[in-house]
Structure 1
Amino acid sequence: MSEYGFEGCELCDSPGGEVVWESALCRVVMVADADYPGFCRVILHRHLGEMTDLPQRERMQVMNVVFAVESAVRSLYRPDKINLASLGNMTPHVHWHLIPRWRDDRHFPQPVWAKPQRLNSPRRSVVDGQQLGDQIIAALRTT
């Protein structure tokens, strides 16, 4: 058994990024991507493949965290748009990607996994994990 659950699963074997907030159910990590500061993942602590594998109450708890992270990222980074994605094609473990997007980022208007549309994104301010974690906590208090 790995630290987070299922042996051989990337999201069970490692945190998946810098942990900025966590509960017994899930964790929020910042993804180190200079082109997309504020890119976060909400990762379920235990190994399940689909949101519908969770009991209804836990589904709602995970989504409340997703919404809190979106609120925090919007407040701190002021992106033009937030992309939410729960893919799991390569890593079948419940997790959500929260990706701030700007009209002048490398991939806009395409997804961040598509071919870049321009060479570089403009430099954007970076917020430390503690500040993001504090904003997530504040947003969770309002849910």
Structure 2
Amino acid sequence: MSVASPLATRPDCELCRSPGGRLILQTAAWRVVRVDDEDFPAFYRVIWQAHVAEWTDLDEGGQQQCMRAVSAIERVLRARLAPAKVNLATLGNVVPHLHWHVIARFDWDSHYPNPIWGNRLREVPGGARAALACPLETLDEAVRTALQALPAG
């Protein structure tokens, strides 16, 4: 059983008050958004709907649901973009609301191989969005389709 009810929210929490990015798909348990980031355009978040801070605040079923969504996004990013690496992270130091970052990384990106929160190493001529192997709208639709194919609950 999750520690918080599925409808638990906190008015002081950014991810309780707003979607947290461009909404791709929402279920009762989680939502997926694409973060609007010029340097990292293929940056998605899986955000747990209830306000919980830690992974272990979820029961096993909730953890499985969340990780299935993370895995589905990673598979799409790998298939559509062939990144050098897909970064997965859940930190919560700044926004203590459970969410996973799923970020396609490329050897040409502005920070690679540094973390996205690290120092910039280079400029990307023409911008990162233009360097992607497919348009973001196409990528978003592929992510949505993969998420819709996940088992319910």
- TM-score range relative to shorter protein: 0.7 to 0.9
The percent identity for this pair of structures is 39
- 1:127 aligned onto 2:136: yes
Tell me, in whole angstroms, the C-alpha distance in 2 between the residues paired with 1:81 and 1:54: 27
The answer to whether the Cα contact below 8 Å between 1:28 and 1:42 also exists between their aligned partners in 2 is: yes
Who is 1:6 aligned against? 10
Decide which of 81, 86, 89 is 1:82's aligned counterpart: 86
Aligned to 2:114: 110
SS of 1:73's partner is helix
SS of structure 2 residue aligned to 1:27: strand
1:62 Cα deviation from its structure 2 partner: 0.6
Match of 1:12, SS state, is: helix
- For 1:124, the aligned partner's letter is A
1:119, CA displacement in angstroms? 2.0
Structure 2: unaligned runs, 5 residues or longer: 1-6
Alignment root-mean-square deviation, CA: 1.8
Provide the rounded CA distance (Å) in 1 between the counterparts of 2:71 and 2:46.
10
2:148 aligns to what?
137
The 5-angstrom pairing of residues 29-108 of structure 1 reads 29-108=33-112
- The TM-score normalised by the length of structure 1 is 0.88
| CA distance, structure 2, for counterparts of residue 75 and residue 4 of structure 1 | 35
Contact 2:72 2:143 in 1 (8 A): no
Deviation at 1:32, TM superposition (A): 0.9
1:19 to 16, 20, 23: 23
Letter matched to residue 133 of structure 1 = R
Q: Secondary structure at the match of 1:97?
A: strand
2:32 equivalent in structure 1: 28
TM-score (norm 2): 0.82
8 Å CA contact retained: 1:72, 1:136: no
